């Protein structure tokens, strides 16, 4: 095999730099999920404040990525896998920014719920959801970095218990009874559950982007991580 020379070195360096920036967002989002769950389940408003602060960093990076992406696109007209990577990065930029927003939603609920009475059982479930969602983000990151489509395809299966716990949260909320303060607290925890469920979905989206990058074919995953036929796509 004769050596392949990269005649597009500068572009590829900038593309890698852009990719690092985008991945730094999801690293931070993963950390924020842990902090936000901890804050909301242990009534830690200081921790909640730090989550909101961290999100400002994500928002700054989001704006930077948008700027860098547009500039790269204008100066180079990437093709092939470079083009697919660019398409994936602009999509992930939005996905990760929203992941951060979900964590902020949870943190703000932690602040609103401060001092209210609580139900330990519900806190347990929220912690469990957090413990399921964070490994999903980690798996999605690793699948992307390794270009491992099989690993990305595991994500829908990992997401299923998250969806089940979220669906169950309504029952838990109703079960808290008529105490007004307890009900106020539990209703907000329903929104926390919903936010974590969204983060799980965003991790699955991340996996779908990895599959597109590697295969060149865009498809949503079905629950087994296989390509869902377009005409069968009745979600949303």
Partner 1 sequence: MTNETSTENTIEGVIGERMTTKPDRAGEAGPAATEIRGVIETKDMSVFYGDFLAVASVSLNFGRNQISALIGPSGCGKSTVLRSLNRMNDLVATARTEGEVHYHGQNIYADGVDPVEVRRTIGMVFQKPNPFPKSIFDNISWGARINGFRGSKSEMADLVQQALEAAALWDEVKDKLADSGYSLSGGQQQRLCIARAIATQPDVILMDEPCSALDPIATLRIEELMLELKENYSIIIVTHNMQQAARVSDKTAFFNVKLNESGMRTGRLVEYSPTEQLFTSPTEKDTEDYITGRFG
- The footprint of partner 1 (CB under 8 A) covers 1-8, 11-12, 77-84, 215-217
Query: Rounded to a whole number, what is the largest CA-CA distance in the chain?
Result: 76
Nearer to partner 1 by C-beta: 135 or 216? 216
Shortest approach of partner 1 to residue 4 CB, angstroms? 5
Nearer to partner 1 by C-beta: 77 or 235? 77
Length of the chain as a residue count: 236
Are 22 and 95 a contacting pair, CB within 8 Å?
Answer: no
Shortest approach of partner 1 to residue 78 CB, angstroms? 7
| Of the candidates 81, 93, 74, the residue with the CA atom closest to the CA atom of residue 25 | 93
CA dist 133 and 140 (Å) reads 11
Shortest approach of partner 1 to residue 216 CB, angstroms? 3
Nearer to partner 1 by C-beta: 4 or 236? 4
Shortest approach of partner 1 to residue 94 CB, angstroms? 20
**Could you tell me which residues come within 8 angstroms of residue 99 by beta carbon, excluding any fewer than 6 positions away?**
25, 26, 29, 32, 33, 137, 199, 202
Tokens 């389940």 locate to 41
Shortest approach of partner 1 to residue 68 CB, angstroms? 19
Nearer to partner 1 by C-beta: 10 or 121? 10
CA dist 112 and 56 (Å) reads 20
């Amino acid at each position: 095999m004769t050596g392949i020379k990269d005649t597009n070195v500068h572009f590829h360096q900038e593309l890698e730099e852009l990719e690092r920036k985008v991945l730094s967002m999801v690293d931070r989002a993963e950390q924020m999920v842990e902090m936000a769950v901890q804050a909301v389940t242990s009534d830690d408003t200081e921790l909640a404040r730090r989550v909101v602060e961290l999100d400002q960093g994500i928002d700054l990076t989001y704006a930077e990525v948008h700027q860098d992406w547009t500039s790269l696109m204008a100066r180079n007209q990437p093709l092939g896998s470079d083009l697919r990577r660019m398409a994936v990065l602009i999509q992930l930029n939005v996905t990760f920014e929203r992941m951060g927003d979900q964590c902020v939603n949870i943190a703000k609920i932690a602040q609103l719920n401060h001092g209210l009475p609580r139900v330990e059982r519900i806190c347990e479930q929220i912690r469990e959801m957090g413990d399921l969602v964070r490994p999903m983000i980690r798996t999605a990151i690793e699948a992307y970095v390794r270009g491992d489509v099989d690993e990305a395809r595991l994500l829908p299966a990992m997401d299923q218990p998250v969806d089940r716990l979220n669906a169950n949260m309504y029952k838990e909320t109703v079960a808290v009874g008529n105490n007004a303060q307890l009900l106020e607290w539990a209703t907000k925890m329903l929104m926390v559950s919903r936010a974590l469920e969204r983060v799980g979905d965003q991790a699955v989206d991340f996996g779908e982007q990895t599959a597109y990058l590697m295969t060149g074919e865009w498809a949503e995953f079905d629950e087994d991580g296989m390509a869902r036929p377009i005409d069968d796509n009745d979600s949303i």
